Amino acid sequence: MGLISLVIKNQKPVVIRHLTAEMDNLPIKRLIGGTNKPSESWVGVPMMIGNELLGLLAVASYKPYAFDEEDVALLNSIAGQAAIALDNARHHAQVEEQTRRDALTGVYNHSHLLQSVAGYVARGKNDNTPVSLIMLDIDLFKKYNDTYGHVVGDEVLRLIVQAIQTHIKRTDVVGRWGGEEFGIVLADATTEQARAVAARVRETLAALPLTDRAGKLIPKPTVSQGIATFPDHAADAETLVDVADRALYRAKEQGRDQVRVAG
C-alpha cells in the first residue's frame, strides 16, 4: 500500500515528518519524487464532500520535518475549497446534461440532437469518415394513446428507446425529434451499417412484450425508418436531416413498418 492508498482508505489526512525514521512503522513503500531520490516529508489530505471522497491533495519534500501543523491546516483548507469547487462544477454539469435530455425517455432532446448531427458531420469532414442518420417514426402511435391510454403510450416510447440503445455504440447519439419521432446519429457508419442497425431495431421491437394496464398482451409497435449518410446523400448537416426525413416519409407513404434510404 502507498501513502495515497492510505489517505483514500482512511479518508483522513496522513502526515509523514521523517520517512526514514518512521518507515518501519508504516504499511507503505518508500516514495520517489521527481528525481531518483526518496521524499522524507509528505502530507496528503482527502478532498471530501460529506462522506464522499472526490480526490486528494498531497505535497512532498526531500527534507525531513519540512511541514508543520500550519502547513497541514493550510493544505486541509485548500482541499476543502477544492472539493466544494469540484462538487459545484459536477452539479452544474449534471444540470446542463438534464437540460439536454427528454424528460420521458431520457434520450437527447430536439435541440441537442441537431447539435450532435452538426458536430458529427463537422468531424466527418475533418476525418473523411461517414456519418449516418436514421429518422424513426412509430407507426400509428396515436392508437396506443386513444385505445390503451397515455400510460401505455409512454411505455411504447420507452420501449422504442430501449430497442434503439441495444444496437448502437456508446459514441452514437439518440434524440427525440418530437412526439413519436426519433433521430439516431451513427458515427463513422456507412449506409449499409445504418441499414443493419435499423433492421435490428425492428427485430427487437417484434420480440419485446407489450401489455395494457391489466397485464394483457397488446399489439407490438412497428416503426418506419429513413436513412441518409454523409457524404453520400448530403454535404452538410442540414441537408442530411432533410433527406433522412424525406426517406422516412417515403417509408410511411409506402405502407409503414419498413426502412427506406435517401436517394
Report the phi/psi class of residue 173: left, alpha or beta, with left for phi > 0 and alpha for psi in -120 to 50.
Answer: beta
pLDDT of 246: 97
pLDDT at residue 92, as a whole number: 79
* Measured CA angle at 109 (ends 104, 114), to 5 deg: 160
Q: What is the pLDDT along the chain (263 residues), one digit of tens a residue?
A: 578 888 888 898 989 899 888 877 777 665 555 556 778 899 999 999 988 999 999 999 999 999 999 999 999 999 999 999 998 888 877 777 778 899 899 999 999 999 999 999 999 999 999 999 999 999 999 999 999 999 999 999 999 999 999 999 999 999 999 999 999 999 999 999 999 999 999 999 989 889 988 889 999 999 999 999 999 999 999 999 999 999 999 999 999 999 999 98
Report the pLDDT value the prediction gives residue 34, as an integer from 0 to 100: 56
- Name the amino acid, one letter, at 172: D
C-alpha grid cell, residue 217: 398482451
- Predicted model pTM: 0.70
> What are the catalytic residues?
180
Task: Decide if 221 contacts 114 (C-beta within 8 A).
Answer: no
Q: Cα dihedral sign for 11, 14, 19, 25?
A: negative
* Amino acid 117: pLDDT: 97
pLDDT, residue 31, reads 54
Give the C-alpha separation, 204 to 208, whole Å.
6
Cα–Cα distance measured from residue 49 to residue 58, given in angstroms and rounded to the nearest whole number: 18
Q: Determine the Cα–Cα distance for residues 160 and 138; give it in Å rounded to an integer.
A: 8
Domains of the chain, each with CATH number or no CATH: 3-97 (3.30.450.40), 110-261 (3.30.70.270)
State whether the Cα torsion 158-222-262-172 is positive or negative. Answer: positive
Give me the pLDDT at residue 93, please: 75
Which pLDDT score, from 0 to 100, does residue 35 have?
58
DSSP string, the chain: --HHHHHHHHTS-EEES-HHHHGGGSSSPPPB-SSSSB-SEEEEEEEEETTEEEEEEEEEESSTT---HHHHHHHHHHHHHHHHHHHHHHHHHHHHHHHTB-TTT-SB-HHHHHHHHHHHHHHHHHHT--EEEEEEEETTTHHHHHHH-HHHHHHHHHHHHHHHHTTS-TTSEEEEEETTEEEEEEET--HHHHHHHHHHHHHHHHHS--B-TTS-B-PPP-EEEEEEEETTT-SSHHHHHHHHHHHHHHHHHTTSSSEEE--
Q: In the numeric block, which cell numbers belong to residue 91?
A: 452539479
Q: How far apart are CA 207 and CA 76, in angstroms?
A: 57
